[in-house]
Structures are given as structure tokens and as C-alpha cells.
Amino acid sequence: MIEDLARAAATASGLLDRVAPGQWSAPTPCDEWTVRDLTGHLVGLDLVLTAMFSNAPPPDRAADHLGADPAGAFRRSSAALQAAADEPGALDRVQETPLGTTTGAERLRWRIADLLTHSWDLAQATGVPAAAPDHLVEQALAFVRAQLPAQDRGSRFGEPHPIDAGAPALDRLAAFTGRAVLWRAGR
């Protein structure tokens, strides 16, 4: 599972490394988030999960964790999360949080799906294609489909959008998590 996390993080990192200076303020498919805001979410969640896996205090949510190098901040936070999750017993440990009680392994499955979904968002915002391994995206899509109820998804996910079954896996994941995906066969 750590390898899957590394692959999902590499997908996001590859996109962040190609963000042009003027694109950090560009809008994303996530309402009210710019590319920099979305990157702040990715880094912030890495830091929260790292703290959870390490039994450390959570990071200061008000702090600017990106600084002048948002892509570098993501690489560092991602490496820290991977190291914390790779500690013996980290994936088996059960923790209770405001979002519920789950194992470290389940938290990582959500993290992988989050990274891949937001990689799609970054690709849309920047025009840089996302290169995510299809098998990894298919696994994340199967997990999210099993975890999200068909009805009331709360405020964290939009309603699924229709998409052709032949669409690329990343587009299908984005559509399932509430993004309006414009997809054409042969694209």
C-alpha cells in the first residue's frame, strides 16, 4: 500500500512540478480553490495524516505550509507521510477522529483516492495531462464506490456525474466524486 501511496503522490507531484508561475492563482474544479489552495489542501492533509500515524499533535491549520515553493512543500509532506505510514504497525492501528474510526490502511486508501482525484483537478486547472497508473485509479474508484453512499454524500463530495464506461479511469473517478467531466471517445 505504501507503493500505491507513492505512485499517487508522484502523479500529483508531477503535475505540481509543471505549474507555471502564473497558474498558482488559477481556479480549479474545486469550488473556491485556486491551484495554490488545492496544493495547500494536499499538503495540509499529508501533515494531518503524518501526525496521526506518528501520534503527534496535529499541524497548525492557520499556518502557511507552502511558503514560496508549493511543489517542494508537497514533495516534503508526501515523503513525511510515506515514512510515517511505513512504520511498523501504522496501517493496522485503529484511531478515532471527528471523521470516524478507521485503520491506517483505510485512511491511506482514502488518501490515494484524494490524491488521484485532485490530480485530475490540477490537470484541468493547468492543462497538463495527469499520468496516473490506470490500475491504481481503478482500485481507488472501486474503493470510493464501495465507501460513498449513493444518496446524501454530505458536503465533501458532489453527486456523481454521468460518464461513459469507456472513459479513462481518472475521468471516471472524477465524475464519480462530483466533477463534471467533458469526455469524448477517441480523445
- Alpha carbons within 13 angstroms on the beta-carbon side of residue 143 total 18
Range of the domain at 149: 2-176
Q: Which residue has the cell 471517445?
A: 185
Is residue 182 situated within a structural domain?
A: no
Residue 38 lies in a domain: yes
**pLDDT in the model for residue 102:** 87
Q: Which residues contact 151 (CB under 8 A, 6 or more apart)?
A: none
| 99 pLDDT tier (thresholds 50, 70, 90) | low
Q: What is the pTM of this model?
A: 0.92
Cβ–Cβ < 8 Å for 96, 82: no
- 63: in domain: yes
Using one digit for the tens of pLDDT, what is the confidence trace for 145-182? 998 865 555 556 778 888 988 999 999 999 999 888 87
| Contact predicate 36/15, CB 8 Å | no
If one counts the domains in the chain, the total is 1
Q: Is residue 185 part of a domain?
A: no
Asked whether residue 170 is domain-assigned, the answer is yes
Mean pLDDT of the chain: 90
CA separation for the pair 15, 131 (Å, rounded)? 9
CATH number of 82's domain: 1.20.120.450
- Whether residue 27 lies inside any domain: the answer is yes
pLDDT digits (tens, 9 = 90+) for 56-66: 998 998 899 99
pLDDT of residue 23: 96
53-62, 94-103, 135-144 — which one is most confidently predicted on average?
135-144
Confidence of residue 186 (pLDDT cuts 50, 70, 90): very low
Q: Is residue 184 part of a domain?
A: no
Annotate 92-116 with DSSP letters as a single string: T-EEEETTEEEEHHHHHHHHHHHHH
Cβ(15)–Cβ(123) below 8 Å: yes
pLDDT at position 31 is 81
For residue 181, tell me if it sits in a domain.
Answer: no
* The residue count for the chain: 187
State which H helix or E strand residue 35 sits in. Answer: helix 35-54
